[in-house]
Amino acid sequence: MPLSLLAVLAVSACVPGAGAARVTGETARGAGRHQLAAGQQLRSRFVLIERLEAVQELQEQGEQTGKEGGDPVPGKNFPKVGKLASYGKGLFRSLTFRDPEHLGMGSFGDAWRAYDNERKEYVVLKIFFYRLFGEYKYLTGRTRDGSQEVEEAEKECLEIQRLFSVPGADTDPGARHICRCYENHTTTTDAEDVDEPAFLVLEDCGQSLKHYEQATFKKPWSWRKRVVEGILEAVRFLSQQNLIHHDLKPDNVCVTDAGEAKLIDFGAMQVWPNKTDPCLSTAGYSAPEWTGRCFDATAPSSAYDSYATGIILLELLCGKGSFDISNPESPCTSWLSFGIDANAVQTAKELTNSNASLRPSPTRALSLLRGL
């Protein structure tokens, strides 16, 4: 069955490291936000064309592989991935995953949903691939050396695992709103494992908030409010560890079937108050202080992410484009917000205050929302 455009674009957004293109604060210096957004949109179109061409090539390659046999093809065939276990003096690969379902492809990661027999739950596997002489192949221990994408994904996975190793993380309500990276299988430690695909085992965190964009207002206000509460809980959890996600947007917020928000894509994360280059963010959701100088180190560590959360709240309240995104302090004008408590709009406006030091903490914003 051919890969659908929805599979390529929608579901892969909830796999960490597969986020949309970003721009840097240095690049944005002196440029208007609308110009940045327009340039980013144009670049996204080129990325879309490249991905569609790649999907067509993969379909043709997969059909040929099916006729002749051979190695599994990314985007077409689920490879035999598992976990190495010892048996006597040897090793064998336990095929831990079953019932695979293809979700979509990023620039270098092929996403599959499968049942994990050990965890007794569905997980997402991100399996890395590369292109060689016009053919797509899964990366293995022999071919992964020098792959910057795999190294960055591995680093992000380890950072997420570190977040959950912090004392008290297991009981912190904010931690459950971080999409977990369970296992990292990108480093080969045994000679018998060099031909196995490099992959990550991730929590199944549902669809991206971007996926719900067209149907947002079919969801009750209680659903939308709960999503924002989850984002604020996660921001609070990160800020307690002096961490800034620094790229919050609908693409990087997943929503489970139960309506619980989960943050993904920590590739732009910053450690407050120290700034590291490149300082990444996305036009339209980046705070005013970002342009040219990243976050404001004199403001609370939660201030930058609070601004992006306020923009997301305004979009959930008013509808995307119903307010001037370059001036989020303007009132919500959409009739779709009719009947929503005015305190919710006020909370969003406070979160998007142009003065970073005056934005409410996540705890304060949570109190305002939960008091509605």
Q: Say how far apart CA 65 and CA 63 lie, in whole Å.
A: 5
Sign of CA dihedral 316, 270, 329, 345: positive
Cβ pair 182, 203 in contact under 8 A = yes
Q: Say how far apart CA 353 and CA 288 lie, in whole Å.
A: 9
User: Is 126 annotated as a binding-site member?
Assistant: yes
Strand, coil or helix: what is 356? helix
Cβ pair 263, 248 in contact under 8 A = yes
Position 122, amino acid:
Y
For 189, residues 6+ apart whose C-beta sits below 8 A from its C-beta are none
- The CA distances from residue 220 to 89, 223, 227, 263, in Å, are 58, 5, 11, 21
Q: Say how far apart CA 155 and CA 184 lie, in whole Å.
A: 10
Cβ pair 308, 285 in contact under 8 A = yes
Query: Measuring CA to CA, which residue among 91, 56, 54, 96 is closest to residue 78?
Result: 96
Sheet holding 261-263, edge to edge: 207-208, 253-255, 261-263
Please give the annotated binding residues for ATP, written as ranges: 126
Please give the annotated binding residues, written as ranges: 126
